[in-house]
């Protein structure tokens, strides 16, 4: 890695009114505006003010449910969501600097469509696009599409790996200088620089080339959330960025080790693969206030909030301590999940970020104009290009 | 009050009519081109911007077609981004119903409608060919005779999804703790030969309820499909006689489906060349046609009728003396207009006679037969022509396709629109905030 080792990367995961199920009932929440452009522009602009590396946008191809595998009948939590790629696209023209990483469900979508959508997000954001790939194992999502039989977990992740491979090949299916506009010969493109990808896999085949020219970053950033061996392998083999969920520093070290092993096994030991720790955050000026707010939200929700990730309540300096400790265990950055929006996002941008800057651990301005640039990833050469 | 004209702008793209060799031609991919184009359309108070779609690069003689503009961005992503830099302009995208799923398309259009404040429109198209299908998991299995059936049931299914939310379910009452006013919001179940899906749709009802539905298609089935379920139809008939015939036929079909004549707008695609005088415009139009049909392009056009490699022929020479090859396997793949050449032998005979009578070379013949602009003249002439066509029911308005990206719309917006406004046949400002309102269509 050529970029500054001492700098941490910080991302924020945006979803609804925040990650706590009662977040929408907080006084500063705007639950009636969750389906408006202004709401999302406001959040991303705030994250950009904090010079964060990127924001992610959650998505599913089903209505939210407390039961991961079936519909529920709850009416006391946020329900309904907009397409994440389009939310990112809507925000892109009115932001700059910050990376935009929507979630794409790979199990039920066409890699050809998503490849051009993310490439186009890269065009409309001038090089700030990424995509977080997600598998969908629930029968309710499958029932929204019909036709497909449910896959085993092994097959879901194998298919996800193929999906990423197809998307990456499609991004490279145009060489950067394919458009020649050669008036003398009348040719707009040099077709020798357009490539069939000819992907043949167990789950699908795709011919190519893309209809969209290679995007500004060459390869937009591919990310995945990973909790266990199969997804760690997907991260090590296929992505630029993994979001993981350690419970403490030792756990973080173990997980990073697993991802690095998977990376080496895939022959990518010399490539940068970021591993960001996910943490749900309740942030206030003093720890007692944060704890009390968490307790109040739990009471409103009627149950204690649980998450796949560590749930932190405390002050920005305390969180900075934790992040520093975990970074020492090998994590290269963090994806913070604000418990409530905009409160915890503002505490990240106005509290945590200045604290990390004081410690010399975070940037003072955007040092690159692309997301790959912010993450210290080089613009990759095209796999199909011949020198 | 005279009939009011509807105007829209088609971002020019993958076709020989888009001139890329002109120094004024910009990028067809960079977002800045789309911003400039969309903002010109909005400055002109146009109803909407229209994006076409392609899902496989075209090929001819077994190789990727390289003479025209190649490559375009993703429709939904560009339209949603354009919602950030425009306020009233409708955002219309062609989305194929063969290589997408209803749940996905419905949530994408509902999202576009939310994020644009009610400006989404969908041009429903179908395809069946295995050539395009090679880019998709499904492959190209759809028999051609099922294309409208699938499109119809696809559209019905998406309407059920849009309608699965009434619009009052998001209560979001912080005091009582009721976010959702109906525990079954979004519930749907649809089963037919093409789709067997059920569950809950996850995007609440959008400002327009449903996007505006466009349909393009000239066959009997296509006209019926549009008359039964579309809000607007794209046609190719930009001349007066053909336009009036199409207009009266399609409007006449509406009553069969219990609809009135003002529930379906007929909007032909139209090109234009504007000059200070009619003579100057005619001269410019000729120059544009020469830019659109190079010698190489002329040969490729001819190959599409002859269905054989003609690269050995001289475009400035006479037509080939060999006959077209009649075969199901065609040298051109992924080109919609190939289907128009239904009787190649008859076309070849007709073209030979025309070329002989006029002394045309291959290129001259192709310029004459394959590349004609709809509206050529001074701003006054073009405004009068369009007004006459709309008042005489040849159309309800036009979807203008400039030949240059991204500045090609400017002469029309800056010079013709003010004249239409003076005539009292075109708005001086948007009437509503949603596309349905601006098109004068009822809420759905």
Residues 24-63 of B with CB under 8 A from A: 29-31, 35, 54-57, 63
Nearest to A255 by CA among A232, A225, A222, A239: A232
Query: Which among B57, B84, B116 has the least Cβ separation from residue A94?
Result: B84
- pLDDT for the residue B335: 67
Residues 6+ apart with CB under 8 A from B252: none
CB < 8 Å to B296, chain A: 185-186
For B:276-315, CB contacts with A below 8 A are 294-297
Supply angle C-alpha A299, A304, A307, rounded to 5: 135
C-alpha B181/C-alpha A214 separation (Å) is 45
Which residue among B71, B135, B297 sits closest to A208, beta carbon to beta carbon?
A: B135
Rounded distance between C-alpha atoms, residue A110 and residue B138, angstroms: 9
Could you tell me if B388 and B265 lie in one domain? yes
3-state secondary structure at position A103? strand
CA gap B320, B323 in Å, rounded:
8
Determine the Cα–Cα distance for residues B182 and B110; give it in Å rounded to an integer: 19
Residue A4 and residue A237: Cα distance in Å, rounded?
Answer: 24
The most distant pair of C-alpha atoms in chain A lies apart, rounded to whole Å, by 74
> Rounded to 5 degrees, what angle do the CA atoms A261, A271, A257 make?
25
C-alpha distances (whole Å) from B254 to each of A70, A279, B214 are 43, 58, 15
B366 occurs within a structural domain: yes
pTM of the model: 0.97
Distances (CA, A) of A354 to A3, B296, B344: 20, 62, 73
Q: Which of B371, B399, B423 is the last residue of a domain?
A: B371
Is the CB of B179 less than 8 angstroms away from the CB of A78?
yes
The verdict on B155 and B290 lying in the same domain is: no
Instruction: Please report whether residue B73 resides in a domain.
Output: yes
| Residue to substitute from A70, A113, A215, interface B, most B β-carbons within 10 A | A113
**Contact between B170 and A89 using a beta-carbon 8 Å cutoff:** no
Q: Per the CB < 8 Å rule, is B296 touching A190? A: no
B302 lies in the same domain as B349: yes
Would the CB atoms of B294 and A140 count as touching at under 8 Å?
no
Strand partners, B377: B274
| Domain match, B18 and B71 both | yes
ipTM exceeding 0.90, yes/no: yes
Q: Which helix (H) or strand (E) holds A338?
A: strand A333-338
Please give the distance of CA B271 from its chain centroid, rounded to a whole number: 13
Is B311 inside any structural domain? yes
CATH number, position B385: 3.20.20.30
Q: Which pLDDT belongs to residue A4?
A: 44
Interatomic CA distance for residues A287 and A300, integer angstroms: 20
pLDDT at B338: 54
What proportions of chain A, in percent to the nearest 5, are helix, strand and coil?
40, 15, 45
Question: Which of B199, B363, B366 to mutate against chain A (most A CBs within 10 Å)?
Answer: B199
Gap between the Cα atoms of B294 and B290, Å rounded: 6
C-alpha A375: how far from its chain's center?
13
Say whether both B144 and B266 belong to one domain. Answer: yes
Q: How many domains does chain B have?
A: 2
Q: Could you say which residues from 125 to 144 on chain B have a Cβ atom under 8 Å away from some Cβ of chain A? A: 134-137
Domain shared by B271 and B298, yes or no = no
pLDDT value, residue B340:
53
Close Cβ partners of B122 (under 8 Å, ≥ 6 residues apart): B92, B93, B95, B105, B109, B211, B212, B213, B214
Which of chain B's residues have a Cβ under 8 Å away from the Cβ of A199? Answer: none
Q: Which helix (H) or strand (E) holds A267?
A: none
pLDDT value for B145: 75
CA atoms within 13 A on the CB side of A125: 36
**Does B178 contact chain A (CB < 8 Å)?**
yes
Which one of B347, B371, B395 terminates a domain? B371
Q: Name the phi and psi angles at A255, rounded to 5.
A: -65, -45
Do B103 and B83 share a structural domain? yes
Nearest to A189 by CA among A210, A166, A161: A210
B134 and B211: one domain? Answer: yes
Asked whether the bond before B41 is cis by omega within 30 degrees of 0, the reply is no
| B49 belongs to a structural domain | yes
CA–CA dist B107, B204 (Å, integer): 9
Give yes or no: residues B112 and B76 share one domain: yes
In a domain, B249, yes or no: yes
B85 touches chain A (CB under 8 A): yes
Beta bridge partners of A56: A13, A101
Tokens of B109: 């259009």
Burial class (CB in 10 A: 0-12, 13-18, 19+), A226: buried
Helix (H, G, I), strand (E, B) or coil at A21: coil
Closest CA of chain A from B72, distance in Å: 5
**Looking at B338, B356, B371, which one is the last position of a domain?**
B371
Q: Which residues contact B5 (CB under 8 A, 6 or more apart)?
A: B386, B387, B390, B396, B397, B398, B420, B425, B426
Is A195 within 8 Å of A173 (Cβ atoms)?
yes
DSSP letter, residue A129 = B
CA geometry: angle at A286 spanning A283 and A289, to 5°? 75
β-sheet bridge partners, residue B265: B232
Nearest chain B alpha carbon to A23: B174
d(C-alpha A33, C-alpha A89), whole Å: 18
- pLDDT at B140 (0 to 100): 63
CB B292 within 8 A of CB B369: no
Residue of B nearest to A192 (CA): B64
Mean pLDDT by 10 residues, chain B (444 residues): 96 90 94 98 98 94 94 97 98 92 97 98 86 83 75 94 97 97 97 94 97 89 90 89 95 95 95 97 95 93 92 94 88 68 86 94 92 91 98 97 96 98 98 96 79
A25 and B174 in contact by Cβ < 8 A?
Answer: yes
d(Cα A4, Cα B321) in Å, to the nearest integer? 70
Q: Is A29 exposed, middle or buried (0-12, 13-18, 19+ CB in 10 A)?
A: buried
| Residues A344, A336: Cα–Cα separation, whole Å | 9
Is B94 a known ligand-binding residue? yes
pLDDT, residue B141, reads 64
Task: Give pLDDT, residue A259.
Answer: 98
- Residue A102 Cα distances to A41, A315, A374, B286, B443, angstroms: 14, 29, 17, 48, 32
Query: Quick one: B412 and B287 in the same domain?
Result: no
Fold of the CATH domain A9-146+219-375: TIM Barrel (3.20.20)
Q: Measured between beta carbons, which residues in chain B are less than 8 angstroms from residue A81?
A: 202-203
Among A33, A35, A94, A141, the residue to mutate for chain B (most B Cβ within 10 A): A35
Q: What is the pLDDT of residues A142-170, one digit of tens each?
A: 999 986 778 899 999 999 999 999 999 99
B237 shares a domain with B113: yes
Closest by CA position to A129, among listed A144, A139, A119: A119
Would you mind telling me the total number of residues written for chain B in this entry?
444
Q: How far is CA A198 from CA A195, A206, B58, B97, B330, in A?
A: 9, 6, 16, 24, 22
Segments of chain A with pLDDT less than 70:
1-6, 147, 387
Which one, of B270, B308, B277, lies nearest residue B60 by Cα?
A: B308
Q: Give a yes or no: residue B1 inside a domain.
A: no
Domain range for B367: 280-371
Beta strand A333-338 with B48-51: parallel, antiparallel or unpaired?
unpaired
Task: Give the C-alpha separation, B177 to B200, whole Å.
Answer: 22
Q: What are the two backbone dihedrals, phi and then psi, of residue A205, each rounded to the nearest 5 degrees?
A: -130, 145
Three-class DSSP labels, A25-78:
HCCCCCHHHCCCHHHHHHHHHHHHHCCCCEEEECCCCCCCCCCCCCCCCCCCCC
Least Cα separation, residue B316 to chain A (angstroms): 15
A103 is in an annotated binding site: yes
B54 and B23 part of one domain = yes
d(CA A106, CA A123): 22
């Amino acid at each position: 890695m050529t970029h500054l080792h001492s700098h941490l990367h910080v991302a924020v995961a945006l979803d609804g009114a925040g990650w706590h199920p009662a977040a929408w009932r907080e006084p500063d929440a705007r639950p009636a505006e969750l389906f408006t452009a202004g709401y999302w522009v406001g959040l991303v602009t705030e994250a950009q003010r904090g010079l964060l590396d990127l924001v992610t946008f959650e998505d599913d191809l089903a209505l939210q449910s407390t039961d991961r595998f079936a519909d529920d009948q709850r009416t006391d939590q946020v329900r309904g969501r907009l397409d994440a790629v389009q939310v990112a696209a809507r925000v892109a023209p009115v932001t700059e600097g910050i990376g935009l990483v929507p979630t794409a469900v790979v199990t039920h979508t066409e890699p050809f469509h998503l490849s051009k959508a993310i490439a186009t997000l890269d065009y409309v954001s001038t090089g700030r696009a990424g995509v977080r790939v997600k598998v969908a194992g629930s029968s309710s999502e499958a029932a929204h599409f019909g036709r497909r039989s449910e896959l085993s977990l092994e097959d879901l992740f194998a298919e996800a790996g193929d999906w990423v491979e197809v998307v990456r090949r499609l991004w490279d299916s145009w060489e950067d200088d394919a458009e020649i506009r050669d008036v003398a010969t009348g040719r707009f493109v040099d077709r020798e620089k357009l490539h069939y990808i000819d992907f043949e896999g167990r789950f699908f085949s795709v011919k190519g080339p893309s209809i969209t020219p290679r995007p500004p970053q060459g390869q937009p950033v591919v990310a995945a959330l990973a909790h266990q061996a199969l997804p760690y392998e997907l991260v090590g083999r296929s992505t630029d960025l993994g979001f993981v969920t350690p419970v403490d520093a030792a756990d973080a070290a173990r997980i990073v080790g697993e991802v690095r092993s998977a990376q080496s096994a895939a022959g990518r030991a010399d490539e940068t693969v970021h591993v960001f720790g996910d943490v749900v955050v309740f942030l206030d000026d003093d720890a007692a206030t944060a704890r009390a707010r968490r307790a109040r939200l739990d009471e409103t929700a009627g149950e204690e909030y649980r998450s796949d990730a560590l749930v932190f309540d405390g002050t920005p300096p305390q969180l900075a301590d934790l992040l520093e400790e975990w970074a020492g265990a090998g994590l290269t950055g963090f994806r913070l999940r604000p418990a409530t929006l905009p409160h915890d996002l503002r505490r990240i941008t106005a509290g945590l970020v200045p604290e990390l800057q004081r410690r010399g651990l975070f940037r003072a301005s955007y040092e690159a104009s692309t997301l790959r640039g912010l993450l210290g990833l080089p613009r990759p050469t095209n796999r199909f290009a011949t020198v | 009050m005279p009939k009011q004209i509807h105007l829209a702008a088609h971002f020019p793209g993958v076709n020989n009519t888009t001139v890329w060799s002109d120094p004024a031609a910009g990028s067809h991919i960079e977002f800045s081109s789309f911003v400039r184009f969309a903002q010109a359309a909005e400055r002109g108070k146009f109803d909407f911007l229209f994006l076409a779609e392609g899902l496989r690069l075209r090929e001819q003689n077994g190789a990727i077609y390289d003479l025209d503009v190649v490559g375009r961005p993703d429709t939904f992503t560009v339209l949603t981004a354009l919602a950030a830099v425009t306020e009233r302009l409708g955002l219309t995208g062609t989305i194929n119903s063969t290589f997408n799923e209803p749940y996905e398309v419905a949530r994408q259009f509902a999202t576009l409608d939310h994020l644009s404040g009610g400006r989404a429109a969908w041009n429903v198209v179908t395809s069946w060919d295995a050539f395009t299908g090679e880019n998709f998991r499904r492959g190209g299995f759809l028999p051609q005779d099922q294309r409208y059936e699938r499109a119809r049931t696809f559209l019905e299914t998406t309407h059920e999804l849009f309608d699965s939310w009434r619009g009052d379910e998001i209560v979001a009452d912080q005091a009582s703790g009721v976010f959702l006013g109906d525990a079954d919001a979004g519930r749907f179940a649809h089963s037919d030969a093409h789709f067997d899906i059920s569950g809950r749709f996850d995007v609440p009802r959008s400002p327009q309820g449903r996007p505006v539905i466009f349909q393009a298609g000239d066959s009997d089935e296509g006209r019926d499909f549009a008359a039964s379920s579309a809000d607007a139809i794209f046609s190719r008939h930009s001349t007066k006689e053909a336009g009036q015939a199409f207009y009266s036929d399609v409007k006449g079909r509406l009553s069969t489906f219990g609809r009135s004549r003002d529930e379906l707008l007929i909007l032909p695609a139209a090109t234009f060349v504007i000059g200070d005088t009619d003579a100057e415009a005619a001269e410019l139009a000729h120059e544009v046609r020469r830019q659109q049909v190079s010698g190489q392009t002329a040969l490729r056009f001819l190959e599409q009728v002859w269905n054989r490699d003609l690269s050995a022929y001289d475009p400035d020479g006479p037509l080939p003396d060999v006959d077209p090859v009649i075969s199901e396997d065609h040298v051109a793949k992924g080109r919609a207009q190939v289907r128009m050449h239904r009787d190649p032998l008859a076309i070849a005979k007709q073209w030979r006679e025309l070329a002989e009578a006029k002394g045309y070379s291959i290129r001259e013949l192709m310029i004459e037969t394959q590349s004609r602009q709809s509206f050529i003249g001074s701003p006054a002439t073009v405004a009068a022509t369009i007004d006459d066509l709309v008042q005489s029911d040849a159309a309800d308005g036009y979807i203008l396709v400039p030949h240059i990206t991204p500045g090609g719309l400017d002469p029309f917006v800056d010079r013709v629109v003010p004249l239409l406004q003076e005539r009292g046949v075109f708005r001086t400002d948007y009437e509503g905030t949603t596309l349905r309102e601006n098109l004068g269509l009822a809420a759905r």
